Amino acid sequence: MAAEHFAASARALDALALSFSRARATLWLITATLTGGVIMGLELLGFRLYAPYFGYSIYVWGSLIAVVMAALACGYALGGWLADHSHDDTPLYITIFLSGVYQLMVIYSADRLLRSLWNDGVFVGPIVATLLIFAPPMLALAGASSFVIRLLARAGRVGASAGGVYALSTVGSIVGVLATAFLLIPDLGTHATLKILCVISVMIGMAGLVANRRVVVLGISVLVVLAAAPKAKLHSYEIWRAESVYNEVRVFHYQGYLWLALNDLRHSHTTFKDNSVWSGSYQDVFVLGPILIHDPRLLVLGMGAGGSIRMTRLADPELQADAVEIDPKVVEAAHRFFGLPKRANWLRVHVADARPWLERDHTRYDLVHVDLYQGGPFIPFYLVTEEFFRLVRAHMTADGLLMMNVYDAGSQREIVKSTGATLRRVFPSVFVYSRVPKSYMLFAFAEPRSLASVRNQLDSAQGRPGIVKMAREAAAGIKDFQAPADAVVFTDDHAPIDPMTHRMLAQDHP
Three-state secondary-structure class, residue 399: strand
Q: At what angle do helices 190-208 and 213-228 cross, to 10 degrees?
A: 170
Task: Return all residues near 165 (Cβ < 8 A) that are at least 6 apart.
Answer: 29, 32, 145, 148, 149, 152
Alpha-carbon gap, residue 299 to 379, rounded angstroms = 19
CA atoms within 13 A on the CB side of 247: 26
Type of residue found at 215: V
Task: Return the pLDDT at 122.
Answer: 73
Q: Mark the ranges of the chain whose per-residue pLDDT is less than 70.
A: 1-20, 155-158, 232-233, 265, 267, 508-510
Which domains occur in the chain, in start order?
Answer: 24-228 (1.20.1250), 279-508 (3.40.50.150)
Strand 248-254 and strand 257-262: the pairing is antiparallel
**What's the N-to-C CA distance of the chain in angstroms?**
89
Three-state secondary-structure class, residue 298: strand
Task: Return the pLDDT at 508.
Answer: 59
Task: Return the pLDDT at 232.
Answer: 67
What are the residues facing 439 on neighbouring strands?
407
What are the residues facing 444 on neighbouring strands?
402, 430
Strand 396-407 and strand 365-370: the pairing is parallel
Q: What's 235's DSSP letter?
A: P
Alpha-carbon gap, residue 155 to 149, rounded angstroms = 11
Query: Quick one: three-class SS letters along 96-155?
Result: HHHHHHHHHHHHHHHHHHHHHCHHHHHHHHHHHHHHHHCHHHHHHHHHHHHHHHHHHHCC
| Contact call for residues 292 and 267 (beta carbons, < 8 A) | no
Q: Which residue in 443, 452, 454 sits closest to 416, CA to CA? A: 443
